[in-house]
Amino acid sequence: MRRSVREALVGFSLLGAIAGSFGLWLWLRGISLSQNNWIVRARFEDAAGLADRSPVIYRGVQVGSVKRIQTTSEAVLAELEISDPRLRLARPAIAQVQTGSLLGGDAQVALISTGHPLPASSPNPRDKDCDKALMVCAGNELNGVAAANLQSVTELMQELLAQAEREKILPQLASTTRSFDATSREAQIFIKEAQRLVKDLNAAVGKADPILANLNAASAEAVAAGRHVRNLTATLDNPKTLAELKTTVGNAQRLTARVDAVGGDVSKLTSDPVFMDGVRSVAIGLGQLFDELYPAQTKAGKAKGGE
Q: Please give the pLDDT value at position 110.
A: 92
**pLDDT tier for residue 242 given thresholds of 50, 70 and 90:** low
pLDDT in tens, 188-218: 888 888 888 888 878 877 776 777 777 777 6
pLDDT in tens, 16-33: 777 676 566 655 555 555
Task: Look at residue 268 and tell me whether its pLDDT is greater than 90.
Answer: no
List, as one string, the DSSP characters of 41-65.
EEEES--TT--TT-EEEETTEEEEE
pLDDT in tens, 124-143: 999 999 998 999 999 999 99
pLDDT in tens, 92-135: 999 999 886 656 568 899 999 988 989 988 999 999 999 989 99
Angle between the 150-166 and 169-236 helix axes, to the nearest 10 degrees? Answer: 70
Q: Please give the pLDDT value at position 5.
A: 60
- The average pLDDT across 46-70 equals 90
Q: Please give the pLDDT value at position 138.
A: 92
Task: Look at residue 297 and tell me whether its pLDDT is greater than 70.
Answer: no
Q: Please give the pLDDT value at position 48.
A: 79
- The average pLDDT across 261-285 equals 67
CA distances from 7 to 2, 10, 17, 235 (A): 9, 5, 15, 150
Task: Look at residue 305 and tell me whether its pLDDT is greater than 60.
Answer: no
Residues 6+ apart with CB under 8 A from 236: 242
Task: Look at residue 259 and tell me whether its pLDDT is greater than 70.
Answer: no
**pLDDT tier for residue 181 given thresholds of 50, 70 and 90:** confident
Task: Look at residue 65 and tell me whether its pLDDT is greater than 90.
Answer: yes
- The average pLDDT across 277-293 equals 69
Residues 6+ apart with CB under 8 A from 104: 49, 149, 150
Do residues 82 and 89 make contact, with C-beta atoms less than 8 angstroms apart? Answer: no
CA distances from 168 to 70, 155, 177, 278 (A): 44, 20, 14, 132
What pTM was estimated for this model as a whole? Answer: 0.43
Task: Look at residue 168 and tell me whether its pLDDT is greater than 80.
Answer: no
CB atoms < 10 A from the CB of 132, how many?
13
Q: Please give the pLDDT value at position 6.
A: 66
Q: Please give the pLDDT value at position 292.
A: 67
CA–CA separation, 71 vs 56, rounded Å? 19
For 294, what's the count of Cα atoms within 13 Å in the CB-facing half-sphere? 8
For the chain, the average pLDDT equals 76
Q: Please give the pLDDT value at position 134.
A: 92
Measured between its terminal Cα atoms, the distance across the chain in Å is 192
Angle between the 273-293 and 239-271 helix axes, to the nearest 10 degrees? Answer: 80
